[in-house]
Structure 1
Amino acid sequence: MGGLIWVGTAATAAGIGGLFWCIWQVTRAKRAGLDDAALRARLQRIVVLNLAALGVSALGLALVIAGIVLG
């Protein structure tokens, strides 16, 4: 079950990295000085990636917990 914990840890780290990347992208988008419609369109794409990163992170944490419980 140690492998399950390491896979979960990697998925969690990737998800958290994705969350930080989304924060960086939103900051760049706001500083770009775009009009309202363009900013809204860019943020909508980032929100989708943000939710995906959050899901990967949650799945990774679930794998870590499963590995601990089963191990």
Structure 2
Amino acid sequence: MLVITRKKGESILIGSDIEITVVKLDDGSVKLAIDAPKSVTVLRKELYKEVQEENKSAVILNLDMLKSIKK
């Protein structure tokens, strides 16, 4: 993991086409602006995990349904 210190208004680049800028610093939180191509999906990690769990649940449910139909 790379740890970088940035101040308000400073940015980091990921590759040549994704820029993350520190917009605001508040009590214990940071507001970031992300400039990325539309083809790049940007999600908060907790939302990403939630989607993964929903997908796993859907697969299990579908497998159970298929097993019951096969009987």
* Range into which the TM-score falls when normalised by the shorter chain: 0.3 to 0.5
- Structure 2 length normalisation: TM-score? 0.42
Structure in which a larger fraction of residues adopt helix: 1
Give the structure, 1 or 2, with the largest relative contact order (CA under 8 Å, sep 6 or more): 1
Larger Rg: 2
What is the TM-score when the length of structure 1 is the normalising length?
Answer: 0.42
